[in-house]
A and B are shown apart, each in its own frame.
Chain A
Amino acid sequence: MSKSYRVLVLLFVLALAVAVISGCGEETSATTAAAGETTTTAATGGAAVPFKFGAAASFTGQYANYGGSLKGGADIAVAELNAAGGVNGGEVSYVTGDELGDPKEAVLVAQKLIDDPEVLFVDGHMFSGATLAAGPKYQDAGLPMISPSATNPDVTDLGEYIWRVCMTDQAQGEGLAAYAVTTLGMKKIAIFHSDNDYGKGLADAFEAAATAAGGEIVGREQYTDGDTDFKAQLTKIKDADPELLFLSGYYPEGSKIAAQVKELGMDVQMLGSDGYGSDELIKLGGASVEGMLISTFFDYSKVDPAIQKFVETYKTNNNGANPDWFAAASYDVIMVAAQAATKAGVNSREAINEALNGIEYSGLTGTFTFDENGDVQKPLNIVVVQDGKLVTAPKQP
C-alpha cells in the first residue's frame, strides 16, 4: 500500500465522515431528486390573475411520504376551488419544489419560487429545519409562506410573511405534558427525541411542562435522523424504568424505536409526537406500535361531514390510503389563503399577506385565527393505534 494512496483514502474517509456526522448523507439521492417540477392546471381561465402557489416539501427521498401528503391535500383544495370558479376568477394551480426535507435544498427551492412572479404564496415547508432555513428568503422577498406543519417556535419569529396553521412545539409540548401527567396520571416519564430542531424543541417544552406539573423525568436520550439502532439509548431508558416514554420525532425512526422497545422487553406506554401521526407508522411498525398514543392535529376517524368528505376524496385519489394530518393541514393552508385573497379581492402576494391578518377560518384541522405572530391556537387530539388503525383515544386532553 503506497503512502500517497493511504493519505488519499484517509482524506476521502474524512470527507465522508464529515458528511455523515453533519447529518446529510443523502448526496446520492439528491443527484436524482433534483427539482422535480410539475404544474397542475385546471379548467377555468380568462384574463383574471391566476391563483398560483408553490408547494414546497420533500417529494422524493426517504421523507417522500410527507410531500405526498402535502400534495394529496393540495390537489383536493385545487379541485374544489376550481370547481367553484377559481379564486377572484383566476384559475388555481401550483408548482412543486422538492427540497427533500433538507435545509440546504430548501433555500434553493425558496429562491426558485420567489423568482417565479406568478407564485402568490407557498404551501410549505413542512419540516422545521427546512422552514427555518428557507423562511428568511421568503421574508426578504415578501412572498407569504404558510407552513402546514413546521412547529418549531422560532419559525413565525422570522417575520410578517411567515405563517403556519399548526400549533407550536411549545404549545404541543405543554399540552402533551399536561395530558401525560394530569390526564393519564403518569409520574415517571422518559423522553427519547430526534436531535433535529423539531424533536429537540418539542422535548424541551415537554420536559419543562411535565416537571412543572409534578411529573419526574427519569431519563432523556436523543438520536440522529436516519439511525437504525437505538438499543444503547433505550437500554439506558429501560434501566430508569419509566411508566411513559415520550417520543419526539418522525415515524421512519419511530417505527424502529417501537420495535426495539418491545425487543428489549420494556413495559412502557409510548406517547408519540405529531410526526408519528401517519398510517405509515403502522405499516412499518406492525404489532410493535399497537397501543401507542399519538398526538395529531387532525383525527380522520372523527364524525364530521367536512372531514369525512375530505377523507373519501383523498382515499379515491390515493388508492385507498387515509389522509394524515399533514394532508389536512395542506388543504387548510390553501383554503385559508384562498379566503384571504377573496377577502382582499386581488390575487397578489401583498394583498394575500395583508388579508391573512385577522381572518377567521374554519377548516379540517379546527377553527382558527392568526395571532400577531402568525401562529394559531388549536385543540390537540390524541389518537391511539388499535388493531392496526389510528382511532380517537378514549382519554382526550
Chain B
Amino acid sequence: MEQLTQQLVNGIMLGCLYALIAVGYTMVYGIIELINFAFGELFMFGAFICIALTSSEISLFGSMVGMPQISFFLAVIVSMLVVGLLGVAMERLAYRPLRNAPRLAALISAIGMSIFLQNLAQSVFGSQQIKFPDIPVFTDSAGMAKAVTVLGAQVTYLQLFVVVVTVVAMILLSLFVNRTRLGRAMRASAQDKRTAALMGVNVNGIIAVTFLIGSAMGALAGGLYGAVYHFARPDMGFVPGLKAFIAAVLGGIGNIPGAFLGGLLLGMVESLGAAYIPGGSQYRDAIAFVILILILSFKPTGLLGSPVSEKA
C-alpha cells in the first residue's frame, strides 16, 4: 500500500513536468501546426539559465565567470523571459519564412534548430552535466531536501511546489486562451489564418505571442526539471521533449487541458509500468512510445482533441 501511494506520487510528479513541457508544444502546434522539435532545447536553455543565475560562478566557454546568485524564483522568471524571446526569434528566423512552404520543410527546419541550439549550449556551457544549486527554501541546513510524509509517501517541498505551479499555470493559460481578446485572436488564427487576418487580427503578431508564451512555459518546465533532478546537460531536452510530445498527442494536440491530462497520464503509466510490470523498468521509454503508436493508430485526435477540420 505504502509502495502504491509512493508510486502514484512519483507518477504525478513526473506527469506534472511532462505536462508543463507539453503545454508549450501544444500551443505552438495548435496555431501553426508545426511540431517544434527544438522545444526540448528551449527547455534545456531554461534549466541552464536558472543554474547560471542562481550560482555564484559558472563556466562559460571554458572560463569561470562570476554570477549574480539571485533567488531561484527570480531566476525562473528571468529565464522564462529570455527563453520566450529566444522562441520568438526562432519563429521569426526559422519558421516564418517557411510558413507557406511544404510542411516537411518547416519540420526539417525545426530539427535543424534543435541541433543548432544543442551545439550552441555545448560550446557555451560545456558538454558536461552540471549541478543545479540547492534552493535554500527547499533544503535543510545539511543540504538535504525537505520533505513531508503523505499517506506513507515521501513528498519533497520542491515537488509540492512543482504541482502547484503546474496547476496554476494550466488554469491561467486556459483562462487566457478562452477568456481574453488575445486568446480569442489566437483561437481564430488557429482556425483560419486568412479569415482571421481579414477580421483585423495581426496573425504574425499572434503567432509571435504564442511562441513567447509557449517557449516561456518550456523554460519554466526546464528550470523546475533541473531543480528536481539537480542537473543540466546540453542533451537533457531530447527525451523529455519527446515525452512531452507524446503527452500532447495523448491529450489531443492543440488542447491545453489535454496536454495536462496527457502529461499526467504518461507520468503515471511510466511510473506504475516500471514498478509493476515484471522487468518493466527496462522498458519505461518503450511504454511511452507504445502509447503514442496506439493513439496515432486508433484515436489520432487524442483524448480531449476535437476532430481537426481540414484546412486550406
Contacts and interface: CB of A to CB of B under 8 A. Distances in A.
Interface of A: 1-2, 5-6, 8-10, 12-14, 16-17, 20-21, 25-26, 28-29, 31-33, 60-62, 64-65, 195, 221-224, 226-229, 231-233, 235-236, 238-239, 252, 255-256, 259, 262-265, 283-288
A329 to B, nearest CB: 21
Contacts of B14: 229, 231
Contacts of A26: 235
B142 A32 contact: no
Interface residues of B, number: 59
Nearest to B243: A20
B10 A235 contact: yes
Contacts of A228: 229, 231, 236
Looking at chain A's contact residues, the main secondary structure is: helix
Contact of A62 (B103, B127, B134, B245): B127
A265 B236 CA distance: 26
A235 B119 contact: no
12 contacts: A9-B35, A20-B239, A28-B235, A29-B118, A29-B122, A223-B281, A226-B239, A232-B284, A235-B10, A236-B3, A238-B3, A262-B144
A8 B33 CA distance: 14
B234 A29 contact: yes
B145 interface: yes
Given A14-B293, A286-B143, A232 B282 contact: no
A5 B282 CA distance: 31
Contact of B10 (A32, A60, A232, A288): A232
B80 to A, nearest CB: 21
10 shortest interchain CB distances as A-B pairs:
A287-B143, A232-B274, A17-B289, A265-B154, A231-B10, A239-B3, A235-B6, A232-B271, A232-B275, A228-B229
Nearest to B122: A32
Interface string B283-312: 011100100110010001000000010100
B127 A60 contact: yes
A159 B116 CA distance: 42
B127 A29 contact: yes
Given A28-B119, A288-B144, A235 B275 contact: yes
A265 B131 CA distance: 21
Given A28-B114, A287-B143, A10 B275 contact: no
A61 B310 CA distance: 43
A227 to B, nearest CB: 8
A256 B231 contact: yes
A252 B118 CA distance: 19
Contact of A65 (B2, B128, B238, B284): B128
B58 interface: no
B230 interface: yes
